[in-house]
Structures are given as C-alpha cells and as structure tokens.
Chain A
Amino acid sequence: MKFNYWALTFVFWLAIFSSCNRAEGDKNTPHDSSRDSLPFSFRDKFYGVSSSDPQNIWMVGHLGKVFHSSDGGMRWEHQITNVQEPLFEVDFVDSHNGWAVGNLGLILHTSDGGKTWKRQVFETDKQLYGVDFVDEDTGWAVGYYGIIINTIDGGSSWQDQSIVEDIALNGVSFVDQNTGWVVGEFATIMHTKDAGKHWEKQETGLGEGITLFGVHFSNSLEGLAVGMDGTIIRTTDGGVHWANQKTGVAQNLFSVKAKKKFGITVGASGTILITHDGGTEWKHLVSSSFRTYNWLTCLDIIGNGHVIVAGGHGTMLRLRKEDFNISLRSPENRG
C-alpha cells in the first residue's frame, strides 16, 4: 500500500487545530461588571431637592454634587459644579434659574438649568443651610450663627439681614417678596413682613431643646414646621399661633412640604409621614414593597403631585401621587 504523506500532513494539522479549539470551548463567561443605571453611589448624601416643573428636578448634596433629571426623576445626570464642599439646599424658580447654598458661605447659581454653575459672593465662612427664591431676582439664604442674606438682583449682590442671636437657622420659606419665615435651633421661628428688613420671633409653644429643621408655607396663613423628636407644628394664621401635632414618632424630621391639604415630611431612619387634612393627622407612609431606614433629609412635591424624597446612602425615592406606592430609586436595589 502506498502511504499518502500529504494526507497525513493534512490530518495531522487538522487534529492539532481541532484540539486547540476544544480547549477554547470551555472558556468561562466573562464577569458582568455593569453598574446600576442610576449614577448615585452608596456614599452619596443628598441634602436638597427642587423642581421647576414635573420634569425638571435637581438634587444637591455632599462634595458639591448636583444631579438633574429631565423626566420627572426616572433618570439622572451628574452636573459639574467644580466644588468639593457640601451643598445643603437648592431652589429653582424655573427650568433655567436656580441657586444652591452650602458649606463656608458657598452660593452657586445657574441660569442654564445647571449646565454651568457659577459662584456668587457673600463674604462669610458660615454654613448656609436654606435658600428660597420667590422669583428670579428675589431670594433669601439662611444658616449658622443666625445668618440671613437677601438678594433682589438674582444673586449678583447679597445683603446681610442676620439676626443678632447665635442661633443656627436651618430652613426658610417665603410666599412672596415680603412675607417669609425662618426656623432653627431652640424652637426658633422668625417672621418678616417687609422682605427681611425686620424679623420678629414667633411663639411656638415648644421647649427650647427642640431644634426646628424645616419650614414650609403654602400661603401667607398656612404653614408647617418640623424638627427634633418627631416634632411637627402647624399654623393657619401666619404664625400667630402654632399648634403641636401628634405624630407618634421620635425620629428627627428634617424637611416638610405641603400642597393644598396634602402634606409630607421626612426624617431619620427612613421616616415618611403624610397628611391629607392640611396637617392635623399624620400617618406613616407604609409600602408593602419597600421600606428604607436611611436618613431622609429633603423632599419636593413636583408639579404633577408626585414627590421626590432624598437622603443618605444615595437614597432617592420617587413617590407617585396616585397611590403613594414607592418606586424605589436607591442604591439598595443594586445587585
């Protein structure tokens, strides 16, 4: 028999290559390292949230971070501020103009919906905890050591309206260009009727040990303030009388907002309380699908009645108006 060495050559190399291919077949599936679609980290802390309309929402927080959503809170993008200091509050009057305040007297302003943020200057090293603008020109910011500052030109210049007492002021709410309230340590509520030229203290009936963290007035008469140990106080006469509301919770409450008869407040250990009667009766918002224990520090009722709540550990919750079922938007959901 004549041996075909060309055939042997072909068969030999075929065998070699096919053995190598078999080895390839056992290759492992690559490690999936895809991230959750939300850009928040477990380390993020959010301190302020503000919406200009049902779609456009901004959140600010630790290390100068600003996030913006243009679809009502479903997707978020990181906006560059070029600051590392924490931002404690944000307020937008329309989809273009907004202000954020923070550590060491930091004031940032945007006139293009947050694409660019520029510093505004008021010489102070005190923390600014609250900011509220009634239009694109007029606004107030409050903070540590009783600081209150005001602008009537969109922040190009700021005037000092600070109170003399050494009180940390945590929240501010104005209903028009003249009428507003600030809240802070020692159950302090200060009220102005003349755009901050004069501030007068209002009696809350609370003990001095209570610090108030948040305040919101829907109009010149109806207002809510929240604070330590589950404190909620309510007024229907512009603050002449404040009534302590029973909440049944001991957690600190940090922020409150109201729209008509609906009100909502958030606080420590994932506390969320809602009211449907303007603030007389408050109930825990309980969802069978979700419970957070994270600190919740800020919220805003966006135009369509939905609510955005945010806080520690990168928590952002989007609460729907229809049934107040919570769509979880927190890093806790990450796989």
Chain B
Amino acid sequence: MSWSHKIAKYVIDHRFTILLGTIFITLFLGWQIRRLEMYTNFDDLLPQEHPYVKVHNQFRDLFGGANVVQLVVMVKEGDIYNPNTLTKIQRLTNTIQKIPGVNYNQLFSISHRKIKNLQASSWGIQAKSIMWPNIPTTKAEMKKLKDVIYGDETVYGILVSRDGKAALISATFLEERINFKGIFKDINEMCDKEQDSNTIIYRTGEPMLYGWIYHYFGQMVFISVITVFIMLSLLFFYFRSFLFMLIPITAGIISCIWGTGFAGLIGSNFDPLILVIPFLITARAISHSVQMLERYTEEFDQLQDVKKASIASLAGLFPPGLLGVITDGAGILIIAIIPIPIMQKLAYICGFWAFSVIFSAVFLNNMLLSYLSNPVKAHEIKKTLLEKALKHLGLWTIGRGRWVNLGILVLLIGVLSIFTTKKLTIGDAHPGSPLLWPDSVYNMSADIVNKNFPGTDELSIVVEGKKPKTMYSSEVLKKMEEFQFYLEESSDVGGTLSLADVVSKINMKVNEDNLKWAVIPATTEAIAQLFWVYTNGGDPGDFDRYVDYNNQYSNIIAFFKDHRGDTIRNAIKRAKDFIAQNQLKDAKFELAGGLIGILAAVNEVVATFSEQVRILIFVTIFLFCAITYRSFVAGFILTFSVALADFISVAVMAYKDIGLNINTLPVASVGVGIGIDYALYVVSRIKEEFAITRDIGSAIVIGISTSGKAVTFTATTLIGGIIMWYFVSSVRFQAEMGFLLSLLMFFNMLGAIIVVPTLISIFKPTFITR
C-alpha cells in the first residue's frame, strides 16, 4: 500500500473526527472574520525602508504628503471673476477645512487666508490675503483681484488657470489611517451642492481615487458573486448534479472562510484592491475539488463502492494535490521578500489561505463524497465531444508533429523572453489612474485638472540645510531656482514652486513692483532683510509650504501631468543628474516626497523584486517537482510549461500596456503558480497509467482524456466566470486582471494538456517509466 493510500484510508476511516475538526476550525475562523476591517492603510503601500519614503515620511507633515485632494471649480461661460463663482470657491475652501484628517497647513485656495499678496504702502510692506475674509463685489475690487492674481506667479497658473476660467483648491490629508471613504463622501456632498448650470467642480487626487475604488467595491463583490453563479451553472452543466455542483463551491466557501478568518485573527486589514488574489485562491480550491470529483466518478464506476471510491480517488490525487497546494503556498509566501508591508501581509494571509486548500478541498471533498448514499452516475459524460477531442489531442502530442511543437515552443519562449524584458512597463502605463477606465469620472477630472493647471501629481525635492537659516543663502536659493528651470524643461512637468519664487516676489514688491527685481538678491543679508520685511507684514505660517520655522529645510515642488512609470523614472533620473552636477556647500538636495516620490520608491522596489520573485517561484516549482518525482527532468518539464504560460501572460501585459505595479505584481506572481496544479494532475495520471499499460503513448492519451478533461473543464469553468470581469467591471484593474488571469488559465491549460505531454512523449523520462 502506497503512502498516499495509507493517508487516504486514514482520512476516510477517521472522517467524522476530521470533519468535526474542520467544522470547528471553520466556525472559529468564521468568528474571527468580524475582526477583519476593510480599509487601505496608506503606509502599508510604501516600502518603508526606501530612502525616498524615509524622506517623504520625515517631511510630509511639514511640506505635505501624497494624499492631496484637488478640486477645480470651472465655469462654462465667462471667467471665475464674479461674486457667484468666488462665493462657491470660498464656501468650498471653508467646508474642506472641516473634513476630518485635513492638514490645515497644507490647504491652498485663493480664498484661504494664507494665500497672500504683498502690497507696498507708506508704512512698509504688508502681506494681505488676496481674497479673505471677504470676496470682491464691486467692479473695481474685482479688477484689483485680477491684477493681484495675474501678477503673482505663486498663484497665477497654480491656483487660477491661465485663462481665468478655473480655480484650484488643494487640500492635503494626514496619512495616518486616512479615511478614504469618508473623504470621498464629504467631498462629493459639498461639491454637488455647489455645482450649477454654469459651474462644474472636478475632483481628483489619491483620496478621491481610493474613494472611487471603495465606491465600486460593492460592484466588484457583486461581479464576483455573479462569477460564482456562472461557475455553478457550468458545474451543473458538466456534472448534471446539484450535489456535485455544490461540493466544489463548498470547498471554495470554506477556503474563503479560513483565509479571511485568518486575516481577522492576526488583526490584518483588507484592501479592496487585493480582492482578486483571494478570488484566485478560492478558484484553485474549486479547481482541486473538480479534479477530485472527476476522479471519484471514474473510481466509483470501477469499484461501485462509495467509501472505496473516495479512498481511491484521494489516494490517486493526494500526491499531485499536495504538491500543487504546497507549491502554490510556497509561491505566494515568496512575495513576502518584497519589502512593502501590503505585499508581506498578502503573502502571509494568502499563503495560509493557499495551504488551507489541502483541508478545504482535497480532504473535505473526499470526506463529503464518502458520505453519499446515492452516488452520482457520471457515465453520460464519458463519451462527450470533449473526451473525443482530447483523445485526438493526446494522439497528436505523441505523433510526428511533436518535434515541430517543441521547436516552436522553444522559439516562442526565447522570443517572448527578449520581448517582455524590453517592453513591460514598471509602474503605471497610462496617464491618469490605471485602476479606472480612461472615460471614468475620476480620470476625466484628472485630465481637466492637468489641462488647466500644472499637474495633479507632485514631486517634492527637499533642500536640507546644514544649519538653521541656510535658506537665507543666495547660493542655495539661486540653485533652487536653477533646479526649477531645469525641471520645467521636461514636457512632463507643468510647473514648479519653491521658496526662491517667494523671495523673488518679495524682492520685486519692495522694489516698486518692478519685474527686474524679481530675482534672488546677491547677499545673505539682503535675503534676511526680505524675510524680516515680510514677517513684519505677514502672519506666522505664511511660509509653511516652503520652509520650516528655522529656515533650515525647504523644498521644491514639481507638478507632473501623470505618474506613468516612464514619467517617474525620467523625473528621478533628471533630478539625480542635476543634483550630481550641482553640489551645494551649505545644503543638499534630498529625493523625494510627494506622490511621484513615493511611487518612484515603489516602482524601484517592484523593478528590483519582480524578477527575483518570479525566478524564486520557478526555482520553488522546479525543486518541489524534482524532489517529489525524484527527477530533475520532471522539474524541468513542469517548470517549462509554467514558464511558457507566464511569459505569454507577461507579453500580453506588455502589449496591452498593463504596467507592473504594486497592484498587478501580486496577481502576476500568484498567477505564475496557477498552472502547476493542472500539469501535476496530468503528469501523475500519465505516470499511473504507464504503470498499468507500460506504454508511454497510451498513458499520455489516457492521461489527457481523463485528468486533461478535468483540467480543461476546470479551466474553462473559471475562465467562463472570470472573463466576464473584462466586459462589465467599472474598475479597470479588476477587468484587466480578469483578462490576465483568464489568459494565464488558458495557457496553463494548454501547457498541461499539450506542452507537458509533448515533452514526456519526446524525452520519455524515467520518472514516468520507472
């Protein structure tokens, strides 16, 4: 009696105890689900040890973080210089201050008290709010406001569009436990109130983006439920049995309870965007279960005994099932090497979830089957068209065409390897957010903001002085200004802001408003005097956006039109080049804060670790397979099949401009191992059949027409459900992942029923024949 048979017999003999234990664990973990919270922890999304993120964290409260909401009040007719529109801007500015989590020091609008204009008078220089506390009402006041705005380069083009038809309100939110859902709701409520026939308010920024994801979460769940119903229908169509339809779904549900319960048990949160991964694991549980059912019907046909058939099917499929589950779980755990907290949480939770499939699908399935008093008759599906087609396929893989197949496969994998490494974008591949469709409200708003203002995405370059008052240095300020010119030479940059702009402005104002004085003074004393003049006429906190209270730290803010991977890489490279060639005596430039800065960090980590993760997953698959079958050839054949499907899926990502980022990387990584289950079941069956027939060709044909049939059915069932995402989801990410996973499943299915049998047919490996 083989070891797998012993285990199978033990499980079925002690089915009541094990079932009771499974129910107990399911109830326990089910109870833990109540602790699971659905929210996005912003810090979890960032590689906390990356130098850019450290700089971002150090200065985000001082100079603003990455969670900036930008509201654009735009008029259809005329311009914003009318009491009605200005009142709306004022009300919105006042209301947004009351939303919990807003950073008061990082709120900018022409109606905010901190946005000031310098006015020279007989008493000296006075810094007066340009539109606070009252808005202009008379024609003369309105003209004065226009003059003030158009004469101030920290306002003109930054807070008011150059055509005067739109005003920007920018609010930064504190990143500790940011409430995206609440912000989204509050912002939409206040904006909806202010919109009228001539006024549109566009809303963009990371909190709004995540708000949209939460908004669509219900739809994502609904689509998932519909997906399950489609799968159920296909299962019923295949098995023609309610019971056989329900068993795989039961396996999926129990797997889901164990996974989410474990997440609740360890106190982890659940990000809506990782919903795809648990769904993928649940789909695997269903996949294992279908294999078990298919094998069970075969065994029952021969043995005509429920319990014996359960033991036989479990014994037959336990080795490949166990190997598949362990390989899956190990593959997912490898993601933990990526030093991004959300990746590590995902690895631990989903790793446990994947390992739990051995109980929820492999054991539970057969235990439930062993209790059936009236087993399903599966004879009617034996001679289906699918079976006939698979038989021909089996004959094809052992025929003369196999060498051609092998040649094309090797060529294909080589070409795809070269292609994918060159074409795949690290980071986002689209302007706007790749999480939503280009015609989504969010992306269209972002487009409007980018067309009328410098840009939605900020890069913050910190200027770190060696001692207090470094920012009085003419050399430092001139270099900052030079840096700004340099950054703005790139077409990706819509504009920049820094303390140098403010100092130039003050210098101009105190010198008869003459533009020739809008320069950085040559001496430290002159700059210190300008600070003193301004401080006398202004309020504490007026410089908060630009410099700290000791005048030691400052920053340059560059506004970008998008945060595509290429844009970010180009921005960081250009900034690094400038810094390398422009060293300062008293200060240094530090990269990088703002959304562009932290995404640069994430992209660099993704670029570094994505290849490592894939290679480690391939190595894991190779080692587990080689050890299990005691054959390197087994490892090679199975890894080759999985790698081929992976290369094709990555190539499709590149072709469709799906960037490899923090959201797609785990799906692509977990997807690598998806096909190993399919291939393992087919290989094990071929091995079993060879032991009986002693003919490799016959073994392959039987393997393909039996296990291959279950593989084909499982894959098509899952694809049938998941491919729908691509056509109906409002969340582009879900749609594209549905497409990607469908491709992965399809090509892994082909790998299992064509590539692996072809390779076995050609090499006739000893791990099959011994």
A contact set with B: CB distance below 8 Å? 3, 5-6, 8-9, 12-13, 16, 20, 23-24, 26-28, 31, 33-35, 41-43, 45, 47, 62-63, 84, 86, 88, 103-104, 125, 129, 170, 211, 213, 228, 251-252, 254, 268-270, 293-295, 297, 311-313, 332, 335
Contacts and interface: CB of A to CB of B under 8 A. Distances in A.
Contacts, number: 116
A84 B153 CA distance: 21
Nearest to B564: A31
Q: Which 7 A-B pairs have the closest CB atoms?
A: A293-B150, A9-B401, A33-B491, A5-B399, A295-B515, A269-B147, A5-B396
Interface string B110-145: 000000000000000000000000000000000000
B482 A47 contact: no
B656 interface: yes
Given A5-B395, A88-B516, A294-B150, A13 B408 contact: yes
15 contacts: A3-B395, A9-B396, A20-B651, A28-B438, A31-B431, A42-B488, A43-B496, A86-B516, A254-B514, A268-B151, A269-B151, A312-B518, A313-B157, A332-B163, A335-B451
B522 interface: yes
B655 A20 contact: yes
A63 B482 contact: yes
Contacts of B564: 31
A285 to B, nearest CB: 17
Contacts of B495: 42-43
A197 B161 CA distance: 52
A5 B489 CA distance: 61
Given A3-B392, A26-B656, A332-B162, A45 B513 contact: no
Given A31-B564, A332-B162, A228 B512 contact: yes
Contacts of A24: 655-656
Interface of B: 146-147, 149-151, 153, 156-157, 162-163, 392, 395-396, 399-401, 404-405, 408, 429-431, 438, 451, 478, 481-482, 484-485, 488-489, 491-492, 495-496, 512-516, 518-519, 522, 562, 564, 648, 651-652, 655-657, 743, 750, 754
Given A20-B652, A269-B147, A252 B512 contact: yes
A3 B488 CA distance: 67
A118 B405 CA distance: 71
A45 B515 contact: yes
A87 to B, nearest CB: 10
A268 B750 CA distance: 72
Given A24-B656, A63-B485, A294-B150, 16 more contacts: A5-B395, A9-B401, A20-B655, A35-B491, A41-B489, A43-B488, A84-B478, A86-B519, A129-B516, A252-B512, A254-B514, A268-B151, A293-B156, A297-B515, A297-B516, A312-B515
A300 to B, nearest CB: 17
B513 A252 contact: yes
Given A3-B392, A5-B399, A103-B519, A41 B485 contact: yes
B491 A313 contact: no
Given A45-B518, A268-B151, A294-B150, A27 B485 contact: no
Nearest to A46: B515
B388 to A, nearest CB: 11
Contacts of B162: 332
Contacts of A170: 514, 516
B657 A5 contact: no
A9 B513 contact: no
A12 B746 CA distance: 13
A313 B516 contact: no
A269 B693 CA distance: 94
A263 B717 CA distance: 82
A33 B490 CA distance: 9
A35 B561 CA distance: 13
